[in-house]
Amino acid sequence: QVQLVESGGGLVQAGGSLRLSCAASGRTFSSYTMAWFRQAPGKEREFVAAISWSGGSTYYADSVKGRFTISRDNAKNTVYLQMNSLKPEDTAVYYCAAKASYYSKRISDYSYWGQGTQVTVSS
């Protein structure tokens, strides 16, 4: 079992930055692929970024590539999402998720989810 708790959301102006954190419980954190998804009002949840268990491979949605960076610290059981050059269209609830084995961008492949943290980007 893995429990995930996100933090770091808030209100920021367009062009600003935020860093989200996701703290995980469980001794097997380092064996999980970790990902961030987001859900804007009235829209479906969508993939943002993922990182392999070792941190050696990262994957991004085209909409955030070059602006967001996912990373992890297995010693701290934490995954991060550094978000730069934020745009109003990045406004959403951001969710941390975990899955065993290989990378996927499919929501249904992820077994564990956090409660979400709100990110609001004003224009």
Whole-number pLDDT of residue 57? 95
Averaged pLDDT, groups of 10, the chain, 123 residues long: 94 98 88 96 97 94 98 95 98 97 93 97 96
β-bridge mates for residue 19, sequence order: 82
- In angstroms, rounded to a whole number, what is the distance separating the alpha carbons of residues 37 and 58? 14
